[in-house]
Amino acid sequence: MATLIGGLGTSHVPAIGGAIHKGLQQEPYWKPFFDGYPPVQTWLQEKRPDVVVMFYNDHGLNFFLDKMPTFAVGAAAQYNNADEGWGIPTLPPFQGEVDLSWHLINHLVQQNFDITTCQEMLVDHACTLPLKLFWPQGDCPVTVVPICINTVQFPLPHARRVYALGRAVGEAIASWGSNKKVAVIASGGLSHQLEGERAGFLNKAFDLQFMESLVSNPEWATQYTNHELVAKAGSQGIELLMWLAMRASLVAGDGFGVRKVHSHYHIPISNTAAGLIALEKVF
């Protein structure tokens, strides 16, 4: 059976892609952000996952407000990137892990999740940037299964439902008949708001409490409604739901919890609280 080695959470601000493209990682503004990543890159070099399951939210490249699925799972042989208008270079296609995609899809439907299945799928910066941050050199060494969660247009899935989805994904990975190693990535957040009277809103205290809960009390955030999470983390901070799904996936299957490999927090990066965490599943 497949081995789920652990989970990662990272922010995905479009400006990060511009900084990578322009080689600004050591500039004073960007250095505190990029300095958080080498310990996680080293851990990944040691563990060498074969496959990544990516929880992310689409920003209008593949889904728009006229058609916004709550949960969508990619089942493509490759995932293409395209121009989003941010000035980020378009990246080469990422290779899909089709067998795991269909295994996940079948398991989720059996667990009463009504999902959208995508045999063709464009992936935006929320999917591509984590791969460049964790594997900055050369071609991406992992195949990918993208799982898109709606955090853009209300009604949004409740935190409890997202946690249940993540747990079901972890169960499916654990039962996948493969000898491959799998890592789960959460892309998004943390606290930020880009519009309205609270534009520029950040909440460091809440972010740090949420990051700690992922280690010690993974269901902690499920006590809040989505409106409460928006109040605490900002309208775009609701992207923390991806982190919750990632952590829930590590609960399923064999194991005795998680070990925090590394965490990092920096504010602001382009009006966003930038978080990073790596959790290793303990057997």
Which of the residues are catalytic? Answer: 125, 192
Non-local (6+) Cβ contacts of 195 within 8 A are: 235
CA distances (Å), 211 to each of 191, 208, 223, 276, in order?
A: 12, 5, 15, 9
Instruction: Look up residue 122 and give its DSSP letter.
Output: B
> And the tokens for 274?
């930038």
Q: Regarding beta strands 94-95 and 78-79, do their DSSP bridges make them parallel or antiparallel, or are they unpaired?
A: antiparallel
Cβ distance 162 to 151 under 8 Å? Answer: no
By residue count, the chain amounts to: 283
Nearest-angstrom CA–CA distance, 17 and 29:
14
- Tokens 């534009």 belong to residue: 199
Q: Are strands 116-118 and 143-149 parallel, antiparallel or unpaired?
A: unpaired
